[in-house]
Structure 1
């Protein structure tokens, strides 16, 4: 699935790297105290001891019995104060291994045979890390399903295979630090009852979630004053790129700006899936070519399809292969077709390749539907930025925004709680979709005479695409006005209906920002195009997807989804880094780049899709985050900034700022942890 198609934690604990971004307004003192995680801290528990906050629920460790003698196993060590990196180091002094931080004020600790946990000042409780706390709440019911069992770093996953088989799982294989398996029925606590198993969850399929849009988000203004991304390399991980070569990427993506194209292969799974690798070419949806153009295409001579950063260079990572399912995995509902199975389970590996090739921005228009859950993919993204604080991951929020599909509950506005993964990560820039506006009535190629699903051609439509209403395209998702009768484009103050909404399950605001994501025009892969003399793809007997409506010509087509908004913002992030490089001589951190885009964003007037430009929910909110990106404002030089600051837990720092009386003061604090 490409975009949205119509139907017709591993944080650091000793400090937080951050950027304070100021709009000057009044004389004052700014005091920044970085909480331990996230964009919005969870509410404090002032009436009792710290809670252990897990995906499976909150636990009051004070109510649990004492563990007595420490033997080999997995434990939670909770302190009665803010913890530091020195605490983590001290906990390992008798052979135990600290796996990571857990809120509040706790560490997950694995104790090998012969090791122990030292008696440190400030330890309030040591409790066994119960197996049930490490099993996803989604694994209920009797249905068979595929599982991903995450194993601690530094432990060979093959060492837990025998344990998993003994717990009744059908083990399929090992991928990185994970074991893949099939559970035929309920998942018992015994599955997670191994000290090296950190999480047991469903194996989620990752799916794929551009010139007029540039004016809406201000990239045109930024380019006009010299910030075109020419000092930056952006990585895009997606389906494929043109014909798979630098020379054949696209006429408006020149080979001279392509640093590398890397093809990732899916090895398949014995007895489950055979993978057919077709290289880095883009043959099915054309999704990767389209998103890449949105980041950095030169655009046609008349400006059609120009990307956000037409001077930036490209690292492309092709992660789509054709899956041929067999045996047990077919019975689980899997269907043969093109999928993003080449994405590594451990995303650190993907990001590292791009980083080593010089990229400092990574554009990801794909993810898994987790409805606000912070999962292992989100943890991978946070971990990589923590270890590489100059690397900004820009990811699509997801396309799961709906007005409850039970007609009895539908109220005509979009529901909360649908953000995908890795978009729930803290350190990434998560991008939702707003509506697009064009002044040319969304033209299509009038020479195309083949019919669409309802029997009408572009020629029949006099060379213009007909904009659908959300209720016509997805009647099960949008059955009730006003959203059912709302047009899919035409109001840049409105969110796209399908854009996934926050908050995350742990209470943070997501998305961070939004950009146009409906009827976005961008680059069209040259392979298997219908109506232009090409044959069908011999692998599946189909032409490449037309996207939304009919293409504008054989080089540009329309698509919709947060897949389309994310690369526009990734290109915008390249312009922001380009600005800091050219004007201030610095390589902006991920935190500073994110802070700049958030601080300069514009509040939408119809963020909740109620059909009224009434600003029911001023920013920040769970629909648009901090608003629609305005790159022109981000690089206009009117804001002060501090980059690469750091604070220990409980510490403060102060900044004095001279401002103009009567003007607003807007402060954005972003940190990578």
Structure 2
């Protein structure tokens, strides 16, 4: 019986590494069909997700699942050469070897073949490299699960292919290398190799939009804690928190261009003090770059050992997250705006990793320019960039955390005392989508693997600023998010406006500040319910519409990122383009500037996470998971489509770069959507979810614990949270409706698409209000079934005044995959939070 006879299901098209794979290509006569297994890895498509009994049946045939390719396909290890026993199973659509051509993106393969030139066929694995390559590519080599370990693969490439060891670097479940085209083509044919990707180009996401203006900020703590009337509450303000949250004892790590003049303490002959925004709160300035360049006299200069901020970007970002003006007074112009100058978490501490490249003088433009990011090759490794601050410097990079892995853990015999450990890592940088470097791998794969094993590490990334870039829109009209920002376990942040006046037509020439327009000067108010065109939209960028990661919801959230006012670096080089360095709002103000971009939105959310960690630690939760922080942030988010008039994607100036495109629609789609994710950050509401123990609740279930969702149970493992919640307060007894919102989040195994599948549903005494994630509801409920964050909201639930509100919240494990490093299925942890509020019937 062949695969076409095995089932009535016609099969579905899937995407693998830029390839579109149809069922027909896997059947006899198809271009990828192979009668016997020529590889130890196979693609298996099933009629549905396998039951426990079907999994056992496949396991008895030596099929070892590695990763899901949604909706019902699997990449699996299979060492026998005869595939017929698998193909004969009635629930198997097809089973076929993982073809070696799938390891390289088709567009990139063409480039590599052209670059290699007419050199004949690529040598088989084991053929030594004889000539030193002239041009090297920074690449990430992703290995199959259950294959050789990264250490074993590195040793093989050195000994058998003759690749110099200093061009290869270990990562958690992969290798990074600097390789020639011929070497890449050789390695791509190795059976242990799942895929090879170019290391995405990384740059900072500051984006000075011509029509940005000064911000008129709402009255709330810090610059960005918006307290809005959004229909979720009756009364003047939703936040009723009697505590003061300022981020004290929290640590935020920022990987960026450096900080101010690069010194915590000034020397005896120095004239400059460190920027007053950061006084006494810097833990470490960490030099990560090895960039080189030439100054205006032609002298060699280097970034090695340097942590000063020559672009101004890192200082500005750090000021948003945790800057504090202290006793200093703002300039008269800023005071007149009513703007507050403290960052979101003004007492948090800072670790700054300086990753920006070196400036180099351009004699033509007579300005300094430089590559966006220039790290030492070994500093590209995930283990170094992220895990050093996690473990408190330095991480023991190659210590074995679990069998077969290189997950760094602190060495108990080390002489280094781990005095502090950061749990929030903010990145206002990211990969730029191109035709050959896009989608989930390699950036998303590496980060998901790391964060799955470090569940209390919150990693934030900017969504990017290419939403209105004509080249990006042409190649990826349905989604521009790529690289690290595409990781399921990362909190990806887009930008929204910030309640400000904008001149939207024909910005005048001259200095950028001339584009700021007050109402008196003809400006138009653009409120924070609007998302600017430049903020990258989801889903994850891909030229393959059937790619399995297309249902992942990105960005997760949006936050104010237009015309934000923050710290200006004193080390900005004269000659750096003003667009890049930013401008002070008025002459003589040396401390602050305005700036715009998703770079600015990320530290807003990082600061919010620090406040939430502080609130949770005060409530006997010393090590909150990243999933819990994510759930709280998203549960508090405001759905911009609920505004009247509706929130919109701001069309901006139609004459600017990008012109009119599909992103200029008027109405905002309801959350979750590709423009706003789950909505706009509302720190006040998220904090209230922690502090109000009468009408709110949260639970943090750790991975592998006895409380976690256990695998392979029939029926599937399910947790139930009874919902007897207090009745309305006395002053709201006139209200007769309740509203409930619940958010579930978990760290998923690495893999394109959802690997560990959970499902959220709510049931009420009146079944008319029941709601569940999955098919049967609207498209948003169906899409969330393929996402590791799920949010349900029910409004206008009728109840009797004075009686307790009742609901039951269910979390079910529909599928838990094998953690291939450990070789077993691990009980799935998660975080859940809920909030109830009361309102007059009919309140939107």
TM surpasses 0.5: yes
- 3-state secondary structure, aligned to 2:534: coil
- 3-state secondary structure, aligned to 2:746: strand
Unaligned runs of 5+ in 1: 1-44, 269-273, 326-334, 443-451, 459-463, 470-485, 530-535
1:400 matched to 2:466: yes
- 3-state secondary structure, aligned to 1:574: helix
Q: Is the 8 A contact 2:61 2:85 kept in 1?
A: no
Partner Cα separation in structure 1 for residue 190 and residue 536 of structure 2: 35
Q: Is the 8 A contact 2:500 2:527 kept in 1?
A: no
How far is 1:431 from its partner? 0.6
1:239 matched to 2:257: yes
1:368 matched to 2:376: no
Partner Cα separation in structure 1 for residue 472 and residue 718 of structure 2: 49
How far is 1:655 from its partner? 2.1
Aligned match of 1:212: 217
Aligned match of 1:578: 614
Partner Cα separation in structure 2 for residue 204 and residue 106 of structure 1: 27
Q: Is the 8 A contact 1:515 1:629 kept in 2?
A: yes
**Compared with structure 1, are the counterparts of its residues 193 and 596 closer, same or farther at alpha carbon in structure 2 (3 Å cutoff)?**
same
**Compared with structure 1, are the counterparts of its residues 84 and 206 closer, same or farther at alpha carbon in structure 2 (3 Å cutoff)?**
farther
How far is 1:102 from its partner? 4.1
Aligned match of 1:196: 192
Aligned match of 1:644: 701
**Compared with structure 1, are the counterparts of its residues 438 and 468 closer, same or farther at alpha carbon in structure 2 (3 Å cutoff)?**
closer
- 3-state secondary structure, aligned to 1:554: coil
1:418 matched to 2:418: no
**Compared with structure 1, are the counterparts of its residues 487 and 322 closer, same or farther at alpha carbon in structure 2 (3 Å cutoff)?**
farther
Deviation per CA, 1:138-160: give whole Å up to 9, x if none: 41655759462414242333634
Aligned match of 2:18: 56
Partner Cα separation in structure 1 for residue 479 and residue 472 of structure 2: 16
Aligned match of 1:667: 742
Aligned match of 1:619: 671
- 3-state secondary structure, aligned to 2:532: coil
Aligned match of 1:139: 108
1:258 matched to 2:282: yes
Q: Is the 8 A contact 1:51 1:104 kept in 2?
A: no
**Compared with structure 1, are the counterparts of its residues 487 and 378 closer, same or farther at alpha carbon in structure 2 (3 Å cutoff)?**
farther
Aligned match of 2:236: none
**Compared with structure 1, are the counterparts of its residues 406 and 340 closer, same or farther at alpha carbon in structure 2 (3 Å cutoff)?**
closer
Matches within 5 A, 1:43-192: 47-48=9-10, 53-59=15-21, 63-64=26-27, 73-76=40-43, 82=49, 100-104=67-71, 108=75, 124=92, 126-139=95-108, 144=115, 146=137, 148-152=139-143, 153-154=149-150, 155-157=152-154, 159-160=156-157, 173-176=167-170, 177-183=175-181, 192=188
How far is 1:279 from its partner? 2.8
Partner Cα separation in structure 2 for residue 324 and residue 122 of structure 1: 64
How far is 1:87 from its partner? 11
How far is 1:467 from its partner? 2.5
**Compared with structure 1, are the counterparts of its residues 250 and 99 closer, same or farther at alpha carbon in structure 2 (3 Å cutoff)?**
farther
Q: Is the 8 A contact 2:539 2:554 kept in 1?
A: yes
Which protein, 1 or 2, shows the higher relative CO under an 8 Å CA cutoff with sep ≥ 6?
1
How far is 1:307 from its partner? 0.9
Q: Which shifted more, 569-578 or 368-377? A: 368-377
Deviation per CA, 1:437-461: give whole Å up to 9, x if none: 359x99xxxxxxxxx99555x9xxx
- 3-state secondary structure, aligned to 1:663: strand
- 3-state secondary structure, aligned to 2:443: helix
Q: Is the 8 A contact 1:222 1:631 kept in 2?
A: no
Deviation per CA, 1:62-99: give whole Å up to 9, x if none: 84458676666444466676479999999999999976
**Compared with structure 1, are the counterparts of its residues 307 and 216 closer, same or farther at alpha carbon in structure 2 (3 Å cutoff)?**
closer
Which of 590, 606, 623 aligns to 2:647? It is: 606
Aligned match of 2:495: 433
Aligned match of 2:683: 631
- 3-state secondary structure, aligned to 1:635: helix
**Compared with structure 1, are the counterparts of its residues 100 and 598 closer, same or farther at alpha carbon in structure 2 (3 Å cutoff)?**
same
Q: Is the 8 A contact 2:289 2:304 kept in 1?
A: no
Partner Cα separation in structure 2 for residue 295 and residue 46 of structure 1: 56
How far is 1:58 from its partner? 4.9
Q: Is the 8 A contact 1:93 1:118 kept in 2?
A: no
Q: Is the 8 A contact 1:211 1:305 kept in 2?
A: no
Q: Is the 8 A contact 1:436 1:489 kept in 2?
A: no
- 3-state secondary structure, aligned to 2:452: helix
CA RMSD, aligned part only? 4.7
Deviation per CA, 1:167-193: give whole Å up to 9, x if none: xxx999324312233449xx9976621
Partner Cα separation in structure 2 for residue 433 and residue 671 of structure 1: 24
Which structure is larger by alpha-carbon Rg, 1 or 2? 2
Q: Is the 8 A contact 2:428 2:600 kept in 1?
A: yes
Partner Cα separation in structure 1 for residue 227 and residue 180 of structure 2: 47
Matches within 5 A, 1:497-508: 497-504=533-540, 505=542, 506-508=550-552
Aligned match of 1:35: none
Unaligned runs of 5+ in 2: 1-6, 116-134, 144-148, 206-214, 229-238, 266-272, 293-299, 331-339, 362-367, 393-420, 543-549, 641-645, 653-663, 703-707, 728-735, 749-844
Partner Cα separation in structure 2 for residue 547 and residue 363 of structure 1: 20
Aligned match of 1:37: none
Deviation per CA, 1:550-606: give whole Å up to 9, x if none: 445111112211001001111011111111111353432111111111111112243
- Equivalent pairs counted in the alignment come to 561
**Compared with structure 1, are the counterparts of its residues 628 and 368 closer, same or farther at alpha carbon in structure 2 (3 Å cutoff)?**
same
- 3-state secondary structure, aligned to 2:433: coil
- 3-state secondary structure, aligned to 2:285: strand
Partner Cα separation in structure 1 for residue 621 and residue 742 of structure 2: 23
Q: Is the 8 A contact 2:225 2:682 kept in 1?
A: yes
TM-score calculated relative to the size of structure 1: 0.70
Which of 422, 447, 469 aligns to 1:359? It is: 422
TM-score calculated relative to the size of structure 2: 0.57
Partner Cα separation in structure 1 for residue 155 and residue 250 of structure 2: 40
How far is 1:137 from its partner? 3.9
- 3-state secondary structure, aligned to 1:672: coil
Which of 518, 524, 547 aligns to 2:568? It is: 524
Partner Cα separation in structure 2 for residue 222 and residue 339 of structure 1: 43
- 3-state secondary structure, aligned to 2:177: strand
Which of 435, 440, 443 aligns to 1:377? It is: 443
- 3-state secondary structure, aligned to 2:465: coil
Aligned match of 2:414: none
Partner Cα separation in structure 2 for residue 406 and residue 76 of structure 1: 31
Q: Is the 8 A contact 2:585 2:594 kept in 1?
A: yes
- 3-state secondary structure, aligned to 1:242: coil
- 3-state secondary structure, aligned to 2:650: coil
How far is 1:468 from its partner? 8.1
Aligned match of 1:295: 321
**Compared with structure 1, are the counterparts of its residues 156 and 616 closer, same or farther at alpha carbon in structure 2 (3 Å cutoff)?**
closer
